[in-house]
């Protein structure tokens, strides 16, 4: 299993009661402490978090101390650097006020290694034709794409066609003339952005591929990954 790291907007992923780990490297406060996200003000870029506790006592961390924060959701880990903005208390609850950047890093665990790969292909949108009538496939709209990266589980593709998350498409392409993908179903799972030419970039996930094809794709990716390493070292 590999990791995928990308920048995301903090306002879209941080939520109340999110578990936190706070790492402090400054002398006198050095350590990693458990905390929780009480409140996040997206307008001020400030968050109230639980006051760290060590050996049963609150650690009063002064302003401007640097923090490395890890925030946990069910499937992802979020990372960002922060500064202590202040200390507060509401009723009997003590908290730190810390800064939150607009963008933070999301770390996703992935089952497949991704490799940089530029290959052309075309796709049809699944809803545009009846799967029971494959002989009419040639009459349906085809959209060109180019891959940016590839794994046995999916790819990042560049296309002029506008898609939405959840769209189902059928992929057709050749991988270096070694593996042929013909009408392989995939789902759009991420809108990555646009190129400088305003083409759209999407992350897609393959759906329902056979065990044999999956093994073939894993072997292909492994072969090209090793080739890339050798080229970089030569």
Tell me, yes or no, whether 155 and 215 share the same domain: yes
pLDDT band per the 50, 70, 90 thresholds, residue 85: very high
Is pLDDT above 60 for 46? Answer: yes
- Shared-domain flag, residues 77 and 123: no
- Predicted confidence at residue 138, as pLDDT, reads 45
Other CB atoms within 10 Å distance of the CB of residue 216: 18
What is the C-alpha separation between 32 and 52, in angstroms, rounded?
Answer: 9
Q: Do residues 126 and 185 lie in contact, with contact meaning Cβ atoms separated by under 8 Å?
A: yes
pLDDT bin (cut points 50, 70, 90) of residue 175 is: very high
The reply to whether 123 and 30 lie within a common domain is: no
Q: Which domain holds residue 36?
A: 2-110
DSSP string, 21-61: EEEE-STTT-EEEEEEEEEEETTTTEEEEEPPEETTEE--P
Read off the pLDDT of each residue in 195-221 and give the average, rounded to a whole number: 90
Return all residues near 52 (Cβ < 8 A) that are at least 6 apart.
Answer: 22, 33, 34, 35, 58, 59, 61, 96
One domain, residues 120 and 227: yes
- Residue 99 · residue 83 · CB < 8 Å: yes
Q: What is the CATH number of the domain that holds 180?
A: 2.40.10.220
| Domain final residue pick, 110, 136, 163 | 110
pLDDT exceeds 50 at position 1:
no
Q: What is the dihedral of CA 181, 183, 185, 191, to 10 degrees?
A: 80
The answer to whether residues 101 and 150 belong to one domain is no
Total structural domains in the chain? 2
Q: Give the chain's mean pLDDT.
A: 86
What is d(CA 51, CA 61) in angstroms, rounded to the nearest whole number? 9
Residue 24 has pLDDT above 80, yes or no: yes
Same domain? 124 vs 229: yes
Whether 157 has a pLDDT exceeding 70, the answer reads yes
The pLDDT-based confidence of 159 (bands split at 50, 70, 90) is very high
Number of H helices, E strands in the chain: 2, 17
DSSP single-letter state for residue 113: -
Residues 92 and 140 grouped into a single domain: no
């Amino acid at each position: 299993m590999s990791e995928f790291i990308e920048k995301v907007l903090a306002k879209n992923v941080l939520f109340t009661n999110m578990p936190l780990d706070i790492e402090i490297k400054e002398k006198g406060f050095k350590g990693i402490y458990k905390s929780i996200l009480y409140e996040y003000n997206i307008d001020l870029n400030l968050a109230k978090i639980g006051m760290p506790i060590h050996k049963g006592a609150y650690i009063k961390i002064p302003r401007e101390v640097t923090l490395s924060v890890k925030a946990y959701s069910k499937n992802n880990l979020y990372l960002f650097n922060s500064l202590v903005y202040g200390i507060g208390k509401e009723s009997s609850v003590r908290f730190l006020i810390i800064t939150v950047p607009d963008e933070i890093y999301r770390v996703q665990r992935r089952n497949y290694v991704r490799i940089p790969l530029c290959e052309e292909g075309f796709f049809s949108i699944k809803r545009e034709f009846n799967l029971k009538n494959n002989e009419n496939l040639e009459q349906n709209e085809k959209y060109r794409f180019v891959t940016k990266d590839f794994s046995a589980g999916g790819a990042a593709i560049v296309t002029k066609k506008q898609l939405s998350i959840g769209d189902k498409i059928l992929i057709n392409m050749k991988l270096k003339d070694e593996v042929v993908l013909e009408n392989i179903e995939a789902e759009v799972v991420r809108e990555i952005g646009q190129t400088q030419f305003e083409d759209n970039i999407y992350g897609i996930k393959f759906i329902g591929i056979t065990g044999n094809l999956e093994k073939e794709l894993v072997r292909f990716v492994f072969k090209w990954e090793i080739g890339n390493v050798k080229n970089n070292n030569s």
